[in-house]
Protein backbone atom coordinates (compact mmCIF):
# COMPACT_ATOMS: atom_id res chain seq x y z
CA UNK A 1 0.00 0.00 0.00
CA UNK A 2 1.01 3.58 -0.57
CA UNK A 3 1.32 5.69 2.62
CA UNK A 4 -2.04 7.45 2.08
CA UNK A 5 -3.72 4.06 1.57
CA UNK A 6 -2.24 2.81 4.85
CA UNK A 7 -3.53 5.88 6.71
CA UNK A 8 -6.96 5.53 5.08
CA UNK A 9 -7.11 1.83 6.03
CA UNK A 10 -6.21 2.76 9.61
CA UNK A 11 -8.99 5.37 9.72
CA UNK A 12 -11.49 2.91 8.23
CA UNK A 13 -10.61 0.40 10.96
CA UNK A 14 -11.00 3.06 13.66
CA UNK A 15 -14.42 3.99 12.28
CA UNK A 16 -15.38 0.29 12.50
CA UNK A 17 -14.01 0.28 16.06
CA UNK A 18 -11.69 -2.54 14.95
CA UNK A 19 -8.55 -1.81 16.96
CA UNK A 20 -6.92 -5.13 16.02
CA UNK A 21 -6.95 -4.21 12.33
CA UNK A 22 -5.96 -0.60 13.01
CA UNK A 23 -3.03 -1.62 15.19
CA UNK A 24 -1.84 -4.16 12.62
CA UNK A 25 -1.03 -1.10 10.48
CA UNK A 26 1.36 0.50 12.99
CA UNK A 27 4.99 -0.35 13.66
CA UNK A 28 6.15 -1.90 16.91
CA UNK A 29 7.84 1.39 17.86
CA UNK A 30 5.12 3.74 16.60
CA UNK A 31 4.83 7.13 18.28
CA UNK A 32 1.29 8.45 18.80
CA UNK A 33 1.45 12.11 19.77
CA UNK A 34 -1.96 13.40 20.75
CA UNK A 35 -0.48 16.89 20.91
CA UNK A 36 -2.60 18.62 23.54
CA UNK A 37 -2.57 15.51 25.75
CA UNK A 38 0.76 13.73 25.30
CA UNK A 39 2.73 10.99 23.57
CA UNK A 40 2.60 7.22 23.85
CA UNK A 41 4.75 4.61 22.12
CA UNK A 42 3.84 1.21 20.74
CA UNK A 43 0.60 -0.51 19.74
CA UNK A 44 -0.30 -1.56 23.30
CA UNK A 45 -0.09 2.04 24.50
CA UNK A 46 -2.26 3.23 21.60
CA UNK A 47 -4.79 0.51 22.47
CA UNK A 48 -4.83 1.68 26.10
CA UNK A 49 -5.62 5.24 24.97
CA UNK A 50 -8.20 4.44 22.30
CA UNK A 51 -10.01 1.34 23.53
CA UNK A 52 -12.00 2.94 26.40
CA UNK A 53 -12.85 5.95 24.26
CA UNK A 54 -14.02 3.91 21.27
CA UNK A 55 -16.00 1.61 23.57
CA UNK A 56 -17.91 4.65 24.88
CA UNK A 57 -18.92 5.73 21.35
CA UNK A 58 -21.86 4.13 19.60
CA UNK A 59 -20.51 5.28 16.24
CA UNK A 60 -17.25 6.78 15.01
CA UNK A 61 -16.72 8.85 11.86
CA UNK A 62 -13.44 10.46 10.86
CA UNK A 63 -14.32 12.66 7.90
CA UNK A 64 -11.26 13.57 5.84
CA UNK A 65 -11.76 17.08 4.47
CA UNK A 66 -8.35 17.36 2.80
CA UNK A 67 -5.39 15.04 2.48
CA UNK A 68 -1.98 15.34 0.90
CA UNK A 69 0.85 12.86 0.67
CA UNK A 70 4.44 13.15 -0.39
CA UNK A 71 6.91 10.32 0.00
CA UNK A 72 6.42 8.70 3.39
CA UNK A 73 4.46 11.68 4.82
CA UNK A 74 0.67 12.05 4.91
CA UNK A 75 -1.16 15.13 6.16
CA UNK A 76 -4.89 15.32 6.66
CA UNK A 77 -7.49 17.74 7.90
CA UNK A 78 -10.35 15.83 9.51
CA UNK A 79 -13.51 16.11 11.52
CA UNK A 80 -13.42 13.32 14.08
CA UNK A 81 -16.97 12.53 15.16
CA UNK A 82 -18.06 10.29 18.04
CA UNK A 83 -21.69 9.45 18.77
CA UNK A 84 -22.00 9.36 22.55
CA UNK A 85 -24.93 11.19 24.21
CA UNK A 86 -25.13 12.94 20.87
CA UNK A 87 -22.47 13.69 18.29
CA UNK A 88 -19.20 15.09 19.61
CA UNK A 89 -17.04 16.57 16.86
CA UNK A 90 -13.52 17.93 16.81
CA UNK A 91 -11.47 19.48 14.02
CA UNK A 92 -8.14 17.65 13.73
CA UNK A 93 -4.97 18.11 11.73
CA UNK A 94 -3.10 14.83 11.41
CA UNK A 95 0.52 14.19 10.51
CA UNK A 96 1.53 10.63 9.67
CA UNK A 97 4.74 8.91 8.68
CA UNK A 98 4.53 5.53 7.00
CA UNK A 99 7.49 3.26 6.32
CA UNK A 100 7.30 -0.19 4.74
CA UNK A 101 3.50 -0.11 4.86
CA UNK A 102 3.25 0.62 8.60
CA UNK A 103 2.56 3.83 10.46
CA UNK A 104 5.63 4.91 12.44
CA UNK A 105 4.34 8.32 13.59
CA UNK A 106 0.80 9.55 14.15
CA UNK A 107 0.46 13.10 15.44
CA UNK A 108 -2.90 14.85 15.89
CA UNK A 109 -3.40 18.54 16.63
CA UNK A 110 -6.79 19.69 17.97
CA UNK A 111 -8.41 22.03 20.50
CA UNK A 112 -8.74 19.85 23.60
CA UNK A 113 -10.79 22.43 25.55
CA UNK A 114 -13.46 22.52 22.83
CA UNK A 115 -13.56 18.74 22.75
CA UNK A 116 -13.87 18.42 26.55
CA UNK A 117 -16.69 21.01 26.64
CA UNK A 118 -18.69 18.78 24.31
CA UNK A 119 -18.07 15.76 26.57
CA UNK A 120 -19.14 17.55 29.75
CA UNK A 121 -22.58 16.71 31.15
CA UNK A 122 -25.22 19.34 30.41
CA UNK A 123 -25.62 21.99 33.15
Residues acting as catalytic residues: 80, 108
**Cβ contact 78:67 at 8 Å:** no
Amino acid sequence: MEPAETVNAFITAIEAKDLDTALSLVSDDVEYDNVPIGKVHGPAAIRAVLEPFLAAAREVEWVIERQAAEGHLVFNERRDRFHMRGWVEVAVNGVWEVHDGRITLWRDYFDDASFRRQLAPPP
